[in-house]
Amino acid sequence: MEEGFLNLEEITKECDAISPADIQVAVKNILSLDERYEAENLIKIYSHLLSVSQCPEVILTVISCSDRIRNKQILPALIDILLLKNINDNDSELKEKYINVRSTCAKAIANLKDTTAVSALLYCMNNKDENYKVRLSCADALGKIGDRFAVTPLINVISDEEEKSVYLKESAASALGLIGDLRAVDPLVSILEGQKGLWGKFTFLKERVIEALGKLRLDNNERVIKALKKSLMDDSAQIRINAIEALMESGGEDAFQAIRTCLVDNDDEVKKNALIALYNLRGREILDEVIKGDFCDNLKMEAVSLIEEYENEDTQGEDTDE
Question: Residue 273: which domain range?
Answer: 225-322
CA distances from 85 to 45, 141, 219 (A): 19, 20, 46
Interval 101-105 mean pLDDT: 97
> Is 41 in the same domain as 59?
yes
Q: Is 145 in contact with 173 (CB distance < 8 Å)?
A: no
Mean pLDDT value across the chain = 90
pLDDT (average), residues 93-118: 94
- One-letter amino acid at 5 equals F
CATH classification at residue 15: 1.25.40
Of the three residues 163, 186, 217, the one that is the final residue of a domain is 217
134-186 confidence digits (pLDDT tens): 999 999 999 999 999 999 999 999 999 899 899 999 999 999 999 999 999 99
What tens digit of pLDDT does each residue of 259-305 get?
999 999 999 999 999 999 999 998 889 999 999 999 999 999 999 99
Collect contacts of 278-287 with beta carbons under 8 A, ≥24 apart.
279/306, 280/248, 281/248, 281/251, 281/255, 281/256, 282/256, 284/310
Give the list of residues 6+ apart from residue 291 with CB closer than 8 angstroms, or none: 300, 303, 304, 307
Q: Tens digit of pLDDT for each residue in 41-67?
A: 999 999 999 999 989 999 999 999 999
Rounded to two decimals, the pTM is 0.86
Query: Positive or negative, the Cα torsion across 63, 66, 67, 73?
Result: negative
- Cα separation, 62 vs 41, in Å, equals 14
What is the average per-residue pLDDT within 110-115?
97
- pLDDT tens per residue across span 247-261: 998 888 889 999 999
Asked whether residue 117 is domain-assigned, the answer is no
Residue from 315, 244, 246, 250 nearest 276 by CA: 244
Please tell me whether residues 89 and 130 are part of one structural domain: no
What distance in Å separates the CA atoms of residue 125 and residue 109, rounded to the nearest whole number? Answer: 14
> How far, in whole angstroms, is CA 216 from its chain's centroid?
15
Our count of domains for the chain comes to 3
